[in-house]
Structure 1
Amino acid sequence: MNKNLSLLPRSLQCLLMLTFPLCAFAGEGDVFSLVTSGAWQYQDNVFYLPDGFEPTSFGPNTPRGDHSWTATLGFTADKMVGRQRLTASASQSAVRYNDLTLLDYEGQNIAAGWQMQVGSDFSGNLRYTNRKSLGGFGDFRSTVLAKNIIDAESLRFDGAYKIDAYWSLFGGVSKDTWRNSTEIRRRNDLDIERLEAGVRYTTRGGTQFELLGRRSDGDYPQRLPVLNQTNSYKQKDIEARVRWQPVGHSRLSGAIGQSKREHENVPQRDYDDVYGRVGWEWQPTGHTAVNFQAERQISSLDDNFSSYFRTTTYTIAPVWQATGKIRVDGRAQWVARDGEGDTFFTALGVVGPSREEDLTTYSLGATWAIERNLSANVEVRRDERESNNQFFQYRVRSVSASLQYVF
């Protein structure tokens, strides 16, 4: 443990030096917190490999499982200026592995927000986030394993204008970018710009009906437009939503939409399909709650014989507030992913097997509020994927524990 936590990155020290002046200038009414945490995790299959496969590209004796330690230092700030709410947070983390030291990295999480209110009819929310973290291995397959740090940045504005007691207009604009540090994964670098607008009707009882239209423009800056590989797309979505609270302890929500994606250089990969979701939040007592959700999603797929995944997901997430200080959370999720759509090759008559996968996730965790500023968390988890392509199968079991203190 000492070798993992004794040498923290210099950026952690710099962050600590920067937060103390902020504390000094925080005025009355400001909410400013310095947050520190330490975490431990063990995974028996760090690289999400199929049974019988070994991570030999990291060396002949590289283990499949390993322990990791994470030290995090950050701050949060929250201030009201008139009717405007300003928020900010930043944290720096150092992640160290016992044996797989090539995966050691420094991560960060930065966020800022402005919740605005103009008059009594217009409200808005401007948000910026930037996160650097280790990319997962579950959905990326290569004969050569490599550490990949993902730099994800997002800027988004949402606004709503209240026409009268029942009708409102709302919309949003956003830009998201993903950058990969490893050369082999840079073809997945992505820029997305979105524009959306909709109308909302709220009944006297509080039920909401919404109709939303969205346009997305995506660009892969590291890709060349050749054969089956697309370097950009345009997508249009239209979606209807409803939120209903029939009784005090139940909330129902649902949505159905149509998603149409077009690729300029590889029109054979275009697709058009329906998606939707249904959710039920049930709180039978003051100490227990259950969240049920079923959804069908449409997502693009880089594959020779399919252009997108049609994904069906069922989730049950119970919560038990055992005492005033102890909360228990569970989660069970079943996912079926089926490859659909045409590609450059299938349009030429080259037919191959479409990917079909079943994923299951089970987790159980507990959070203990030891004191007002001190909390601890433990979790056990199991992930498994069955696929008609053995290369995409995996089984992962993990256990983790963390301790957090807020100054």
Structure 2
Amino acid sequence: MDSILKTNRRGAWLALACLAAAAAPAAAESNPYYFGGSLGLSQVSNVYRQAFSSNSDTVASASLLGGFDQRLGRQRLYADASVQGNRYNDNKQLDNHAYSLKGGLDWSTIERLSGSFTFNSSEALADYNVGRGVDQVFKKNIERNDNAQALFRVGLVTRYSAEAIISYRKRDFSAPEYDQLDYHQTAGSLGLVYRPSQDLRLGVAYRQTDGVYPHYPLFFGGVQIASFQDDYKRKDIDLTTGWDASGASKLNARISYTKTEHTVITSSNYSGFTGLINWNWQPTGHWTFFTQLSRETGQEGLPGVTDQSRLTTALRLNGTYQLTGKVSLNAGLFYSRADRNSTAFQSRDFDRDFAYNLGANWAYSRTWSVSCLLNHLDRDSSIPQYAFDTGSFGCNVQAVFY
């Protein structure tokens, strides 16, 4: 439920994201292809995330979506895509088109070679009031994210395998005021995995990341006088585990010793432990829970909270209750604290975010469904103009054909 953080970012099609994710597996069970569309309407408060005033609006959206999940012998090829058009009633300068594309290939040979390739690309209206000395803007600002990853696995003996991972990530914004948040990076890791049983996986790996912020600003007296390229290098020793405790409980975790060094933003240098824990739990056929805990640096944080923080700790809780065969209820909580070493203010500051969402889905038929979602986000900050609260409520109707 990444939409828990997107309160005023995508407004009307928050519920669509949840429905689209749910639709894809259903499509794969019977027909490898699916396509559909959606219409939505939502009310968004504090569109620009202003600290001392607010700006509410009504947003209408229309979306097209489609995808496939196809087995080709030992291989699996899949992709999902959606395109949205969003129209604001009052803030018409924010009218925008957004898209999301993701896919991948899982492959294996008769021998001991296997792996995967995954990619995703998205474009949408960016968050406002991001802090970090970035000027507040009141215009359309589009954020684009591109990610790709390739994994190669070689089975050494029955219980051991070697894994190599190569990845690339890029983010940029259309508004020049956000140039300092643009970045791109490449990463590679090499590790060994041991499986003492089908239910337990243990791994160790060395990982290195090289990246760059190409437009980091230099301030003097509160005024930007120049910009520099900030190169950073991160090195990790990763300890990982995956444990299927039972058919109803699955745990994945990573603990890393991390060292990050920047050439310009030296206040964001970090040396210490980072990590991530994911826990899926389904105690009954009606209840499903997901818990995620993260302690990470900057752009390696959880989706929706990536930034230039020196260290961010985040907790996400999501739950779904299958009320009937056609009606499900869902809720989520999110909390994060970002330790921001600000070169703009020459001091250490912080942001604390608390968010929640409540939603309901009604699958009228295999084709038609209705979804409603309520979101709210409160931010407390050591810098008053970065504190705000915002929220949205919206519903949409979706049709998916298989």
State the 1:384 CA deviation: 0.3
1:168 aligns with 2:167: no
Q: State the partner residue of 2:312.
A: 311
Greater strand proportion: 2
User: For residues 221-370 of structure 1, what are the structure 2 equivalents within 5 Å?
Assistant: 221-223=214-216, 230-265=229-264, 267=266, 269-299=268-298, 308-339=309-340, 352-370=346-364
Q: State the partner residue of 1:57.
A: none
- Tell me if structure 1 keeps the 8 A contact 2:216–2:227: no
Q: State the partner residue of 2:89.
A: 98
User: For residues 370-389 of structure 1, what are the structure 2 equivalents within 5 Å?
Assistant: 370-389=364-383
Structure 2 unaligned blocks of 5 or more: 1-29, 219-224, 301-307
- Tell me if structure 2 keeps the 8 A contact 1:279–1:293: yes
State the 1:223 CA deviation: 4.6
Structure 1 unaligned blocks of 5 or more: 1-28, 55-63, 302-306, 346-350
SS of residue paired to 2:49:
coil
1:74 aligns with 2:65: yes
- Tell me if structure 2 keeps the 8 A contact 1:356–1:387: yes
Change (3 A) 1:138 1:320: farther
Q: Percent identity?
A: 24
- Tell me if structure 2 keeps the 8 A contact 1:158–1:173: yes
Change (3 A) 1:93 1:266: closer
Q: Distance in 2 between matches of 1:95 and 1:369?
A: 24
Q: State the partner residue of 2:150.
A: 157
Give the alignment's TM-score, normalised by structure 2: 0.80
Q: Distance in 2 between matches of 1:176 and 1:311?
A: 19
Q: State the partner residue of 2:50.
A: 49
Amino acid at match of 2:158: A
Change (3 A) 1:330 1:36: same
SS of residue paired to 2:385:
helix
SS of residue paired to 1:324:
coil
SS of residue paired to 1:311:
strand
SS of residue paired to 2:99:
strand
State the 1:46 CA deviation: 0.9
Q: Distance in 2 between matches of 1:46 and 1:270?
A: 33
Amino acid at match of 1:392: Y
- Tell me if structure 1 keeps the 8 A contact 2:41–2:58: yes
Change (3 A) 1:131 1:266: closer
SS of residue paired to 1:106:
strand
- Tell me if structure 2 keeps the 8 A contact 1:35–1:76: no
SS of residue paired to 1:220:
strand
- Tell me if structure 2 keeps the 8 A contact 1:250–1:282: yes
Match of 2:127 among 119, 124, 136: 136
SS of residue paired to 1:185:
helix
- Tell me if structure 2 keeps the 8 A contact 1:229–1:266: no
Change (3 A) 1:399 1:299: same
Change (3 A) 1:325 1:232: same
Q: After the TM superposition, which of the residue ranges 251-260 and 222-231 deviates more from structure 2? A: 222-231
Q: Distance in 2 between matches of 1:295 and 1:269?
A: 18
Amino acid at match of 2:177: I
Residue by residue over 1:177-227, the C-alpha shift from the partner in whole angstroms, topping out at 9 and shown as x without a partner, is 222111222332222111112211112251111112211111233457998
Give the alignment's TM-score, normalised by structure 1: 0.80
SS of residue paired to 2:331:
strand
State the 1:120 CA deviation: 4.3
Structure with bigger RCO (C-alpha 8 Å, 6+ apart): 2
State the 1:278 CA deviation: 3.6
Change (3 A) 1:396 1:259: same
Q: State the partner residue of 2:12.
A: none
User: For residues 120-135 of structure 1, what are the structure 2 equivalents within 5 Å?
Assistant: 120-135=111-126
Amino acid at match of 2:382: N
Q: Distance in 2 between matches of 1:266 and 1:297?
A: 17
Change (3 A) 1:273 1:145: farther
Q: Distance in 2 between matches of 1:380 and 1:224?
A: 37
Residue by residue over 1:80-129, the C-alpha shift from the partner in whole angstroms, topping out at 9 and shown as x without a partner, is 22222222343322110010100001122233422211224222212232
State the 1:228 CA deviation: 9.0
State the 1:352 CA deviation: 4.9
Q: Distance in 2 between matches of 1:82 and 1:252?
A: 30
Amino acid at match of 2:260: R
Change (3 A) 1:164 1:367: farther
Q: State the partner residue of 1:117.
A: 108
- Tell me if structure 2 keeps the 8 A contact 1:227–1:344: no
Q: Distance in 2 between matches of 1:102 and 1:178?
A: 23
Amino acid at match of 2:65: G
State the 1:360 CA deviation: 0.8
Q: State the partner residue of 2:38.
A: 37
Match of 2:138 among 142, 145, 156: 145
Residue by residue over 1:248-288, the C-alpha shift from the partner in whole angstroms, topping out at 9 and shown as x without a partner, is 33333332112211223565653212112344433221111
Q: Distance in 2 between matches of 1:295 and 1:185?
A: 25
Q: After the TM superposition, which of the residue ranges 148-157 and 268-277 deviates more from structure 2? A: 268-277
Amino acid at match of 2:92: T
State the 1:73 CA deviation: 1.5
- Tell me if structure 2 keeps the 8 A contact 1:162–1:169: yes
State the 1:353 CA deviation: 4.0
Match of 2:178 among 175, 185, 201: 185
Amino acid at match of 1:90: A
Residue by residue over 1:37-86, the C-alpha shift from the partner in whole angstroms, topping out at 9 and shown as x without a partner, is 12222111111111x335xxxxxxxxx01111111113212322222222
- Tell me if structure 2 keeps the 8 A contact 1:227–1:266: no
